[in-house]
Amino acid sequence: MERKKGKMSAEEFKQAAAKLDGAKYILRLYVTGMTPKSLLAIVNVQKLCEKYLDGRYELKVVDIYRQPQLAKDEQILATPTLIKKLP
């Protein structure tokens, strides 16, 4: 039986998840300046990463005022925005 594109069985999902166990997550948090909203987003993401990805993540904070090209490349329309690059 042919599998539909993008669909996977429960067993395939389990196997894929097992491969990610211990994988390092690469995250980018896009903010606009060091506003209270941006600072709160940074603190919240750091807390979540420490709780759920302890030692298995890299978080880069990107200020789109300082690096507008990065925001353009990722098509960021609103901030704060968190992008998972890997896995």
- Residue 2 pLDDT more than 70? no
78 in any annotated domain: yes
32 in any annotated domain: yes
7 in any annotated domain: no
- pLDDT category at 4 given cuts 50, 70, 90 is low
Number of structural domains in the chain: 1
- CATH for 38: 3.40.30.10
pLDDT (tens digit per residue) in 33-48:
999 999 999 999 999 9
18 in any annotated domain: no
34 in any annotated domain: yes
Residue numbers of the domain that contains 62: 24-86
Residue with the bigger pLDDT between 15 and 10: it is: 10
81 in any annotated domain: yes
- pLDDT category at 23 given cuts 50, 70, 90 is confident
59 in any annotated domain: yes
Q: Average of pLDDT values for 44-54?
A: 91
**51-58: Cβ within 8 A, 24+ apart:** 53/25, 56/22, 56/23, 56/24, 56/25, 57/24, 57/25, 57/26, 57/27, 58/24, 58/25, 58/26, 58/27
